[in-house]
Amino acid sequence: ITHYFNPVRYMRLLELVRGADTEDSVIDRLADFNDRVLGKGVVRCADTPGFLGNRVGVFALQVGIDEAMRNNLTVEQADALMGRPMGIPKTGIFGLYDLIGIDLMVDVVASLRSILPDGDAFHPVGGQNDMITAMIADGYTGDKGKGGFYLLDDDAAEMARPLSGAGAALLPPRARDKTLPDAAIRAADATATRGEPLHEIISGNDDCARFCRRVLGRVLAYAASLVPEVTVSPQDIDDAMKLGFNWQRGPFEMIDAIG
């Protein structure tokens, strides 16, 4: 099985799965061709749901949403923390949901949940989210629609998501709030002075610090649990996240950085 990450033209990740009857020489030739000729970063993994990149990446997004709601964070706060301070692209959680398409992400999550083992940690965060269901019903499917978690037009007269209940705290104001959480500012300062941004965002007792500790704790533990089921090499998981999701560091590199 060859799984090229989309968009194939720009994303380097190729997840390569050896079949039961596939000779090692065939896999080696495929890996060599994709590396030398196509410039792909080849990661070998087992034939399991979501392979490596999506198994960890989609779980991370779902945990981010779950913890943002639990810790009473806004969309902007969550993305500011689960973005550059963690070495993740600035789209963060909700911005990436909008970019991919909220309705498409719901299908991806449901598909993974339907084929993962009952005891997998994905299930508690992969269930139906009433807030997202209401958004899709109202036509807020992300960048391809009339907006999603973020308005397409910051000067729009109406809020994109007139929701209430558990998701109310996530709603940004009419115009996007560009004020960074203190933890994100400290992380940026640490990066500029060659410090460790992860230490900055998990320090403290406020909602933002708790959010970061919980997200990192759950995501890094989940990644570790996939060895050796999905791959025997932690390096493969790190490479998959860097090549497929543009993370600056993989989960195990983050563990080393935190200490």
Statement: residue 66 has pLDDT above 80: yes
Per-residue model confidence (pLDDT) at position 177: 60
Q: Which residue has the higher pLDDT, 36 or 190?
A: 36
- For 165-178, what is the mean pLDDT? 51
pTM for this prediction: 0.89
Residues 6+ apart with CB under 8 A from 251: 56, 219, 220, 223, 224, 234, 237, 238, 241
**227 burial via Cβ count (<10 Å: 0-12, 13-18, 19+):** middle
Sheet holding 13-16, edge to edge: 2-4, 13-16, 41-44
Per-residue model confidence (pLDDT) at position 173: 45
Reported as a single tens digit per residue, the pLDDT across 242-259 is: 999 999 999 999 999 999
Per-residue model confidence (pLDDT) at position 159: 45
Lowest mean pLDDT among 5-14, 17-26, 105-114, 170-179: 170-179
Helix ranges (DSSP H) in 93-129: 94-100, 102-115
Confidence band of 160 (pLDDT split at 50, 70, 90): very low
Among 12-21, 132-141, 148-157, the range of highest mean pLDDT = 12-21
